[in-house]
Chain A
Amino acid sequence: MINRDDFLVQVIGLFDETDPNEITLNTEFRSLDEWSSLNGMSLIAMSSDEYAVKLTPADLQKVNTFEELAKLIEEKSNN
């Protein structure tokens, strides 16, 4: 189980041009002004780094919100 508070702190660290208050678990990350494919890479890196779960760009394509991303990482880590 991923601790959602820790997860949110990690995610906020990856979006340094966005007001942290704007980022919640329900935020659709692609709708953030600063979103680019580089942020996508950093999310994949965070998953690998913090949770030892390797995501592909295609995996990331399937999710929209940070909560969905956390669930995807949990799902993959249980497999």
Chain B
Amino acid sequence: MASIKYIEYYLPVFELTNEELARRFPNWSVEKISQKTGINVRRITRSDEFASDLAIHAAEKLFENSDISKEEIDFILYCTQSPDYFLPTTACIIQQRLGLPTSVGALDYNLGCSGYVYGLALANGLINSGISKKLLLITAETYSKFIHPQDKGNLTLFGDAASASLITNDGESNMAIQNFVFGTDGNGADSLIVKNGGMKNFRAIGNDLYNDEDFVSNDDYLFMNGGEIFAFTSRAIPELIHTLLLKSNLKLEDVDYFVFHQANKYMLNHIRKKLGIPEEKFLLFLESCGNTVSSTIPIVLNEMKKQQRFKKGDKILLAGFGVGLSWAGTILEY
């Protein structure tokens, strides 16, 4: 059975604080917003620092803090929407930069907030079919580079980060990967999108759109229809959880911890209450890093492991949801 043996993460050095946001947007209630979102600091990459750099840091940390050697890795799965280039695949560059054997399989896959759970599903398949024995699952994102400097809403929410997880089948005590449930709805593709830059609008140049004084959008940058995403989440996620519990023959009370994509505290609490999950079972870690897209779930898992929150036999339910629209859930057994 495939399981997660180690998880590490890396945050860039520069801090975007509430004070800085208040200075940039004096007419905006940053304090109130950050109290609701549960985010005080976002960590942001420098202009010459990229998702692949964060990925390398996270992976190197994993090798430093574990008994795994680079020679043992036989597969890299790299989840990002911030690739270095259209081509080649960033995972190939990561192989070279980490000094992994040339015998590794390596591929990128493009997903956002559902990406970590998807990565676990792909890893699970590769391990259980005997194709891979020790797989490196990396998530890395730099949404800060997609956000317009006047887009105060998204600036407040998102932070950059990378995570690295080692997935193995060696059966030692770690987090065993159980059932999965997925969801996809391309109808919501335009609710969270960077329109320009892909082949469809390759060389298009966006214009700043304002509603009175307020920045609305520019197609060169990240656009999020917060209301639509909120509505999607509050509709799709309770259903995802119920389906996953049914498939796993579990009741809500049987789950020891819930680790949801850390979108923002306000929205998470809304879903938590809707599902009737007690606060002490609902794990949060975003105050000091913000919404880091595909890295939020592994960051929570790493922090809670460090705090020794989990004990043997605990069932931990993961749910990722967002851009796509795409959502996915799984259960880990500690």
Contact = CB atoms under 8 A, between A and B. Distances in A.
Nearest to B36: A38
A32 B83 CA distance: 43
Interface string A13-51: 110100000000000000000101110111111011100
A2 interface: no
Contact of B270 (A36, A42, A44, A47): A42
> Range of interface residues on chain A?
20 to 34
B270 A37 contact: no
A59 to B, nearest CB: 10
A49 B234 CA distance: 7
A49 B235 contact: yes
A37 B234 CA distance: 17
B229 to A, nearest CB: 8
B320 to A, nearest CB: 19
A45 B227 contact: yes
Main secondary structure of the interface of A (DSSP, over half): helix
Contacts of B29: 36
A78 to B, nearest CB: 20
B47 interface: no
Contact of B227 (A16, A34, A57): A57
B95 interface: no
A30 to B, nearest CB: 12
A12 interface: no
A54 B58 CA distance: 41
B279 to A, nearest CB: 12
B227 A58 contact: no
Given A36-B32, A36-B36, A40-B227, 6 more contacts: A37-B33, A37-B153, A41-B230, A45-B231, A48-B228, A56-B227
